[in-house]
């Protein structure tokens, strides 16, 4: 499907975007991969990496806040992977206008530009923070999810379709807890909000593979959720820095003790498959035929959260996960 095609990645210089571009160039023989982002320095640093010496790679400066620039970038594009977002929870609380402009208005611009350019398919990245959000970042991503699903209503007779991928914390992504713990370890003390706090974990490689698989499988309107392990923050700290002093600082504003990926009030629209859940749209104002997405229908009241998740990582498994992350930092 992707061979010879043109793929645009918004936020393409981020952790996900770089790994996704590398995966596409290495395995799928695309005609063109366009990196769309607003930071010229990050683009030049990415272009200088040996793994990105490909004639198929293009760099396009622009911001998802600018619809006209997006429309120009999407001319002739077949597929869009939307990974651009502001995501730091404390920064969102202090700068709500900026997060709304990027995460919500930016989502609207991506949808409108994709429709104008007659892009075939768009897959947008979401987060567990969008489920029953308690902070502004999560609220903006919830709005973004709704915008992309509703985008299918505006396609008319053209083929443009939109779907969403939702997963938990990406191991080692910029600003995530693992790099912070590794840095604190050097000073002999790490700060932990609450040891019993739980989070879903997924590697960057698995996140990219799941997004690309979802792009292949989507018919438009689905939210794809991978089954993934979770762990407690206390076990994570123990795995990274067993000999360090642990300082308990308590929950920060806007944080949950546990995160969910399938909320109980969406169970009626959710099917379970071997390696994933699929939430079907509750109000499909377009012709929706999910022929590829049969599975076990979830029971009323079902929820998928990091606390009750049956796949809980042991300390040894966390160590192996972190070791794999440190060894595979490619890009």
Q: Is the pTM of this model over 0.75?
A: yes
**How confident is residue 321, by pLDDT bands cut at 50, 70 and 90?**
confident
Distances 158 to 75, 117, 276 between C-alpha atoms, Å: 15, 11, 29
Per-domain boundaries in the chain: 6-168+203-227+260-304
Q: What distance lies between CA 113 and its chain's CA centroid?
A: 20
**How, if at all, do strands 276-279 and 223-226 pair?**
antiparallel
Helix (H) / strand (E) containing 170: strand 169-170
What is residue 148's three-state secondary structure? Answer: helix
Of 213, 308, 214, the residue nearest 258 (C-alpha)? 308
Max Cα-Cα span within the chain: 62
CA distance 320 to 323: 5
**How confident is residue 298, by pLDDT bands cut at 50, 70 and 90?**
very high
DSSP secondary structure code for residue 251 in this structure: P
**What are φ and ψ of residue 121, in 5° steps?**
-140, 145
- For Cα atoms 265, 268, 273, give the angle at the middle one, nearest 5 degrees: 115
- Per residue in 40-79, pLDDT (tens digit) is 999 999 999 999 999 999 999 999 999 999 999 999 999 9
Close Cβ partners of 263 (under 8 Å, ≥ 6 residues apart): 131, 132, 303
Give me the sign of the Cα torsion angle 199, 200, 204, 205. positive
Catalytic residue among 26, 32, 101, 129: 129
Close Cβ partners of 195 (under 8 Å, ≥ 6 residues apart): 232, 233, 234, 237, 246, 248
- Report whether 35 contacts 59 (CB < 8 A): yes
49 counts as catalytic: no
**How confident is residue 326, by pLDDT bands cut at 50, 70 and 90?**
low
- Report whether 149 contacts 130 (CB < 8 A): no
What is residue 312's three-state secondary structure? Answer: strand
Fold of 6-168+203-227+260-304: Rossmann fold (3.40.50)
Close Cβ partners of 131 (under 8 Å, ≥ 6 residues apart): 138, 142, 166, 259, 260, 261, 262, 263
- Per residue in 129-182, pLDDT (tens digit) is 999 999 999 999 999 999 999 999 998 888 999 999 999 888 867 767 888 888
- Per residue in 72-127, pLDDT (tens digit) is 999 999 999 999 999 998 899 999 999 999 999 999 999 999 999 999 999 999 99
Integer Rg of the chain from CA: 20
- Per residue in 243-259, pLDDT (tens digit) is 888 889 888 888 899 99
């Amino acid at each position: 499907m992707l061979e010879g095609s043109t793929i645009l990645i918004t936020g393409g210089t981020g952790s996900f975007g770089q790994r996704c571009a590398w995966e596409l160039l290495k395995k799928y023989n695309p005609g063109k991969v366009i990196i769309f982002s607003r930071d010229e320095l990050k683009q030049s640093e990415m272009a200088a990496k040996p793994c990105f010496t490909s004639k198929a790679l293009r760099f396009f400066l622009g911001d998802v806040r600018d619809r006209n620039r997006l429309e120009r970038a999407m001319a002739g594009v077949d597929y869009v992977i939307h990974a651009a977002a502001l995501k730091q929870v404390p920064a969102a609380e202090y700068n709500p206008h900026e997060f709304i402009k990027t995460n919500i208005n930016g989502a609207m611009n991506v949808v409108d530009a994709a429709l104008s350019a007659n892009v075939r398919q768009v897959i947008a990245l979401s987060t567990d923070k969008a489920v029953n959000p308690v902070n502004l970042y999560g609220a903006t991503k919830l709005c973004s999810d709704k915008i992309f699903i509703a985008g299918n209503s505006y396609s008319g007779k053209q083929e443009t379709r939109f779907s969403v991928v939702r997963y938990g914390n990406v191991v080692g992504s910029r600003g995530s807890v693992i790099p912070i713990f590794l840095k604190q370890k050097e000073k002999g003390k790490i700060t932990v909000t609450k040891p019993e706090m739980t989070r879903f974990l997924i590697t960057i490689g698995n996140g990219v593979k799941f997004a690309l698989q979802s792009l292949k499988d989507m018919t438009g309107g689905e939210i794809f959720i991978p089954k993934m392990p979770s762990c407690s923050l206390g076990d994570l700290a123990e795995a990274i820095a067993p000999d360090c002093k642990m300082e308990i600082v308590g929950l920060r504003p806007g944080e949950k003790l546990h995160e969910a990926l399938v909320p109980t009030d969406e169970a009626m629209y959710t099917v379970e498959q071997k390696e994933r859940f699929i939430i079907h749209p509750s109000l499909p104002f377009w012709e929706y035929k999910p022929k590829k997405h049969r599975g076990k229908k979830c029971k009323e009241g079902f929820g998928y959260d990091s606390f009750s998740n049956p796949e809980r990582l042991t300390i040894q498994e966390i160590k192996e996960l972190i070791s794999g992350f440190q060894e595979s930092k490619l890009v």
